Amino acid sequence: EYLRPYRCYKSDPEFSKCVLNGFENSRDYVNKGIPELSLPALDPFELPLMTVNRTVNELVSINAVCRNIRVIGGSSAIIDDLKADPIKHTGEIRVTVPWLNLVMDYDVLGQLLVIPLKSSGHFEGNFTNTQMHVKGSLKKYKRDGEEYFKVNKVDSKITVGDGRIQLTAEDPDRQLEADLITFFFNENPRRVMDAVNPIFIDSTNDLIRAVSDQILSTLPASEWLPA
């Protein structure tokens, strides 16, 4: 109910502007999370478990299980541009996040350019000037006689300006391997981030779809987009 003032009507001639204002004016709620809408807190954003199994080419492949993921800094996001079409159910948004801190426990196998990946432990990274451009569309489906929205397509482009990481091996005897990965990344952050970018984008698209569908399922389409 407390979000109703921020709803946008399909008939609004300045629909995109309304959606942008709605985002900006409801930031406090979004940052803390809205349990009634299954919306997790944005800052910190926490995820108990995430798996990644992607191969880009013979030089870049990652098979990882990530646990206890915690991201701080999302509340500083700046919305650079937003467009939404209430008739076609499409939209796109450009966002800049000045700083993010990411911590998690990890178990990874794979290949990162010249570095073989075989490590388990704790990861911490600081990343600056992350640029995100997300395009998406929704489609309707019926449930219990009512129409609901779900994600039809989502496509992200993400560039991280800079980053620095630290890996701490679960087994102290394997710390040398963790240090090698840490050193390689910190000496070549641009090269490494560009190499793993396709994997990062795929994982981000999957996460956006899962979280969005979870949120959209809480209310009928007519509540999200009244006439």
Assigned token pair, 64: 């990882």
pLDDT band at 5 (very low <50, low <70, confident <90, very high): confident
Percent over 90 (pLDDT), the chain: 89
Sign of CA dihedral 129, 208, 152, 224: negative
The pLDDT value recorded for residue 143 is: 95
Among 106, 96, 90, CA closest to 16: 90
Kindly report which listed range (3-7, 21-25, 88-92, 119-123) carries the lowest average pLDDT score. 3-7
pLDDT, residue 4, reads: 75
Are 11 and 226 in contact, with CB atoms under 8 Å apart? no
- CA angle 65/70/75 to nearest 5° reads 140
Tokens 């979870």 locate to 214
Q: Mean pLDDT throughout 42-65?
A: 94
What pLDDT, in 10s, does the model give residues 67-92?
A: 999 999 999 999 999 999 999 999 99
The first and second tokens of residue 211, run together, are 């979280």
- Residue 34 DSSP code: B
Q: Could you tell me the pLDDT band of residue 167, with boundaries at 50, 70 and 90?
A: very high
Mean predicted lDDT score pLDDT of the chain: 94
CA distance 117 to 169: 12
Domains detected in the chain: 4-224 (3.15.10.30)
Tokens of 88: 């076609």
How sure is the predictor about 1, in pLDDT bands with cuts at 50, 70 and 90?
Answer: low
Question: What per-residue confidence (pLDDT) applies to 227?
Answer: 86
- In this model, does residue 60 exceed pLDDT 90? yes
- Global pTM value: 0.89
How many Å is the Cα radius of gyration of the chain? 20
Instruction: Tell me the average pLDDT across 97-116.
Output: 94
pLDDT score of 3 more than 90:
no
- Per-residue pLDDT at 180: 92
pLDDT band at 110 (very low <50, low <70, confident <90, very high): very high
- pLDDT classification of 2: cutoffs 50, 70, 90: low
